[in-house]
Chain A
C-alpha cells in the first residue's frame, strides 16, 4: 500500500522537476486599480528592496541534480537517503516545493504519516508556481 502511494506521488512528481520560481502572483495595486509588478522596481516603496535572492531560480543545475538523486532513491525505497538528499536541496533553496514532496513521500514510505503531513503542509506554502505540486500536497494531506 505504501509503495502504491509512493508510486502515485512519484508519477505526479515527474512533472515537478523543473525548478521554477515558487513565489509569484502577489498582486500589488493602487486605488486606481493599476497593477504593479513587485520585481520591476516601478513601485516607489519597493525600489529600496533587494533583488530576488538566489532562492528564486539560481543554482538550477545543482537543484536539479539533487532532485533527480532524491527521486531515484525514492524509487529504490531508500527512504533515508532520499530524505538526506532532499534536505541538501532545501539547504540550497528552502522554498523548492519539489523537495517537500520527496520528504512527504519518503516519510510515508517509512510509515510516519505525521511527519509526512508536516512536510506536505510546508510544501503547500511554496507550491504557488506549480498546480501539480499543490494537488499532490492536497491529496497527500487528504490521505492522512
Chain B
C-alpha cells in the first residue's frame, strides 16, 4: 500500500525489472508428501522424546510405592517367662519356622516332649540387634522352666524376630516384597523367560515374529486369543500403561519397550519384571512380584522354592485369578504341569526332575493358614498414632518399617474369644445371631503398650472400630474414680455411708433418683462393700458428699482427657467413653496411679534401616499411691466376693485379679475392665443400634474378659503394699477396729492417718489362751 501511494505521487510508473520475476514454484505431490513426512517425523521424535523421559524417569527413580510394613513386638524368651507351649508354637509358625527332625540352620525348630529346640534367625531393627541363637526351651505349667543353648554359649535372654503383621498400603493396595536378581534362583528367571518370552535375550523389546504369530492365531480364531507381547512389553504395559488394547496404546507400548531396551540391560528389565508382575490377591491386598508371592503361597523365601513351586508361580503369571490354586486347584495343577513340560523341553530340568515335580501336589499353604495379616482394629490404632507425625503418602510409599507393640499371643487370644463368647450369649439369652457386637483391648501394665485390639466380632472386618470409636456410657466402671476421690479426702475403706434412697437436684431443677440394681436399700454400708457390690445409692451419696468436681478430677488424674459433664449422673457413669479411653483410666489404676499414654508403636525405621522415630515410655500424672492401692484392694474384692465373683468359677484361685463390672441404663452396654499384675483389659458388649440387651456387666462382658485372661500369663496380683499402708482387722458391720479372732472381723488396708479410731465389740470365736499359745508356738 505504501509503495503504490508513493508511485502515484511521483506520477511515474515504477520500472519493472527486466529480470523475469520468480514465480512460486509449484509444490508437487512428492514435495507435500516430503513435508508431511518431515512433520510426522518431528512429531514422532517429540513423542518418542516424551516417552523416553517417562521411561527413564520412572525406571531410574523410585519404581514402586512401597507400603509401610508393620511388625509385632518380638517375643522375649527367658527363664520364668510366662509362655504356653501352644503360644510358642503359634509364634514360630507365624514366623514361618520349619519344623524339622534335626535343627541345623536358622529358621528351624524341633518340638520336644517338654519344649522346643529353636535356631533363631536374629534380626536388626534400627540400632536394636539380636544375634541368632540355638536354644533348647523347656516349658512347664505355662512357664519357661529352663532355657539353654544346645550349641554355643547360653544367654539369659533371646528374642524371636518381630512378625510382619500387615502394611499401610497406597490406594490400590499393591503390596510387594522387593527381591534382587542375585537373590532369585536361576531356575525361576530361566523358567519365566522360557514360558513368557523365550526369545527375550535376542530381541530389542518387540518381537516381530511374535506379533506375526499372534496376529495369525487371532485372525484364524476371529478374536484375540494370543498376545505377541515380549516380556519387556508386558513390563511396560504393567509398569507404565493401562491394560487397554487400543492401537495407540499398543504403539506406545512398542516404542517404550524399544526405549527401555535401549537404556537398560536385560538383567535390569528381568529384575523389574520379577518385582512388578501381579500374582494374586489377599483380600483387598494385591500380591505383586515373586518375592511376596513365594511368601503368600508357600510361606517361603523365593530362594527356597522347589521345582514344582517355581512352575506353579510362573504359571500364575498368565492369570493369577484364573489359576488361583486354592479356588481352582485342578486348573492350577494343569497349568503347573504345562510349565514343567516347558522346563523339561528347554532342558532347564532333567526328565527325572520333571517326573518328580509332576508327582507332587500343589504344595500351597492350607487356605485357613494363609497369612492375611489382618488385625484391622490394631492396624487402625497404629495408623492413627503414626498419622500424628507422618503423612499418609509417606506411610504408603516409602517402605518404612513400623515396630508395633502387638503381642501375637495376646491378640490371638482376644480374637478367638470374642465371637465365640458372643455367640454363646446370644444362644443363652435367645437373641438373634449376630445381634450383639463387642470390642476388646488388652495392654501391658506399666509400659502402657497395647498388645491386642479387637473392634468387631468379625475380627477380619476393617470397618467401624468399636474399640476406638464406640463412645458409650460406662456405667459403674466410673465407680473406682468416685471412691478414689473419697479416699483422697477423709474417707477410708471402712467408713460408713448410707445406702438409703437419695435424691439429687440436677441441672434445671430436674430430680435424679438413682436406684440400686436389686431395687433394695442396704442401710449403712462400708465403702469397701459399696464398691464390692456396686451400690448405686451409696455411691451417688458418697460422690455428692465428696463433690462432682473431685470425681472429674480423679478421672483426669487417671488419664482421661476429654470433657467430663459435671452432672450428678456422672457418679453412676453417664459419661460416654470409648473402650480405649477406659483402658487408659484402668491402666492408671493398675499402674499404682501413674498414667501413661496407651502406645501401639515402639519405633519407626526407614527403608534403609535408619531409625526415624522412637516412642519411649512416658509417665504422666501421679495419683497418691496409697489411695489407688486401697481402690485396687477393693477391686480385688469385687472379683473375689463382689459383682465379678463369677470369674473364679473358671480362673484358678491363685491368679489374683482386680476389676469392675459396668452396666449402663436399660442394660444397653455391658462392660468389664480389670487387671492382673501383667495385663489390663477392657471389654464392651452391646448393640450397634444402642438397643437394650439382657446383659449386665457380670453376665456379658465379664465372660469375654475371663476367657481372654484364662489364656494370658497367670501372673497374679499380690496384696497391695507400700510404705504408709497398714492392714487392720475391722468389724464387717460397724467398721470399728476389731481383732483376728473376733466374730465378723476382716482385714482391710488403711493409709496412714486415715483409719478407724473406734473399737468394735469383740465376740471371741477362739479361746484367748489357745490363741496366745498358738501364736507362741507357731
List residues of A whose CB falls within 8 A of some B CB.
Answer: 23-32, 34, 36, 38-39, 42-46, 48-56, 58-62, 64-66, 80-81, 83-84, 87-88, 90-92, 94, 103, 115, 118-119, 121-122, 125, 128
Contacts and interface: CB of A to CB of B under 8 A. Distances in A.
25 contacts: A23-B718, A26-B722, A26-B726, A26-B727, A29-B728, A30-B729, A31-B737, A31-B762, A39-B719, A44-B746, A49-B656, A49-B718, A51-B654, A52-B718, A54-B80, A54-B713, A56-B718, A59-B81, A62-B157, A64-B156, A66-B157, A81-B127, A84-B614, A92-B76, A94-B447
A32 B766 CA distance: 14
Contact of B80 (A31, A43, A46, A59): A59
B78 A83 contact: no
Give the top 6 A-B pairs by smallest Cβ distance, nearest first: A94-B446, A50-B656, A50-B716, A45-B747, A26-B721, A28-B727
Given A23-B722, A31-B739, A58 B727 contact: no
A83 to B, nearest CB: 6
Contact of A87 (B80, B447, B655, B738): B447
Given A26-B719, A28-B728, 11 more contacts: A30-B729, A31-B738, A43-B727, A45-B747, A50-B717, A53-B718, A55-B715, A62-B78, A94-B447, A121-B622, A122-B594
Contacts of B614: 80, 84
A75 to B, nearest CB: 17
B718 A65 contact: no
Contacts of B725: 26
A41 to B, nearest CB: 10
Nearest to B762: A31
Given A59-B80, A61-B79, A46 B127 contact: no
Given A49-B718, A122-B619, A30 B738 contact: yes
Nearest to A117: B619
B727 A36 contact: yes
A42 B719 CA distance: 13
Contacts of A122: 594, 619, 622
Contacts of A58: 80
Q: Which range holds the interface residue count of chain B?
A: 35 or more
B131 to A, nearest CB: 13
Contact of A49 (B128, B594, B719, B726): B719
B346 interface: no
A118 B127 CA distance: 25
B715 A23 contact: no
Interface in B730-778: 737-740, 745-748, 759, 762, 775, 778
A23 B721 contact: yes
A61 B738 contact: no
B112 interface: no
A92 B78 CA distance: 10
B156 A61 contact: yes
A29 B727 contact: yes
B155 interface: yes
Given A44-B747, A49-B719, A91 B79 contact: no
Contact of A50 (B80, B654, B747, B762): B654
Nearest to B82: A54
Interface in B543-578: none
B60 interface: no
A80 B127 contact: yes
Contacts of B133: none
A34 B618 CA distance: 42
A76 B745 CA distance: 57
| Residue from A30, A38, A87 having most chain B Cβ neighbours under 10 A | A30
B678 to A, nearest CB: 8
Given A28-B747, A31-B738, A38 B727 contact: yes
Contacts of B716: 50-51, 53
Contact of B619 (A46, A60, A118): A118
B617 A87 contact: yes
Contacts of A50: 653-656, 716-718
B444 interface: yes
A94 to B, nearest CB: 3
A125 B727 contact: no
B677 interface: yes
B445 A62 contact: no
B640 interface: yes
Nearest to A65: B156
B446 A90 contact: yes
A127 to B, nearest CB: 10
Interface in B44-83: 76, 78-82
